[in-house]
Amino acid sequence: MSASSEALREGLLGPLGELGVDVEDVEVQKAGRRHVVRIVVDRDGGVDLDLVASVSQRASELLDSGPLAEEVPGPFVLEVTSPGIDRPLTEARHWRRARRRLVHVVLTDGTSLDGRIVDVPSEDEVVVATDDGTRTLARTDVGSAVVQVEFNRKDDDADEPTGDEPADAPHEEQG
């Protein structure tokens, strides 16, 4: 993260946190005569378009005036987005938000496993169900982990929100 990106991230954490989001990343890239400021936000239950609009408005206010305006000289394009499926699971909140999802985990000892996140009982542990049984992993033993895409997911709790959609998203019954 560049100095400008880090300063923006620090300046946005508090004000955007008041809107109930975690600032996952801030990028500033030069695009011709302009800059592109990309802010990645997330929260438990997911991010919907109304929240993205609120975050965009607040971030724009902060970037247009005050000390943050100096961090992005000249015209800029503001993009507010949520993390993609390919985001590495690096924080306990990432694991918690991916609960019940299939993951590929590479451990620090070089071994790997595929399984479904069952629980995140603490900041330091995750519970993953594999074909060989349930394993509790210390997060310090995880080298890398990413959610796997499932196109035909069979879910015993299909009526419960998975964290991929806002809790107030409409539910359609299949007949």
Domain ranges for the chain: 3-81, 92-147
State the residue for tokens 């699971």.
89
Q: 92-147 adopts what CATH topology? A: SH3 type barrels. (2.30.30)
> Would you say residue 161 has pLDDT above 50?
no
CB half-sphere exposure, 104, CA atoms < 13 A: 9
Q: Compute how many other C-beta atoms are within 10 angstroms of the C-beta atom of residue 19.
A: 14
Place of tokens 């971030």: 59
Question: Domain 3-81 maps to which CATH number in 3.30.465.10, 1.10.10.10, 3.30.300.70, 3.40.50.2300?
Answer: 3.30.300.70
pLDDT in tens, 38-79: 999 999 888 999 999 999 999 999 998 867 888 888 889 999
Q: Is the pTM of this model over 0.85?
A: no
| Type of residue at 133 | G
Is-contact 61 68, C-beta < 8 A?
A: no
Q: How confident is the model at residue 41, as a pLDDT?
A: 95
**pLDDT for the residue numbered 66:** 67
Q: Give the orientation angle of helix 49-64 with respect to helix 3-17, to 10 degrees.
A: 120
- Which pLDDT score, from 0 to 100, does residue 171 have? 38
- To the nearest whole number, what is the mean pLDDT of the chain? 86
Q: Name residues whose C-beta falls within 8 Å of residue 100's C-beta, 6 or more positions apart in sequence.
A: 116, 117, 118, 155, 157, 162, 163
Q: How far apart are CA 100 and CA 129, in angstroms?
A: 9
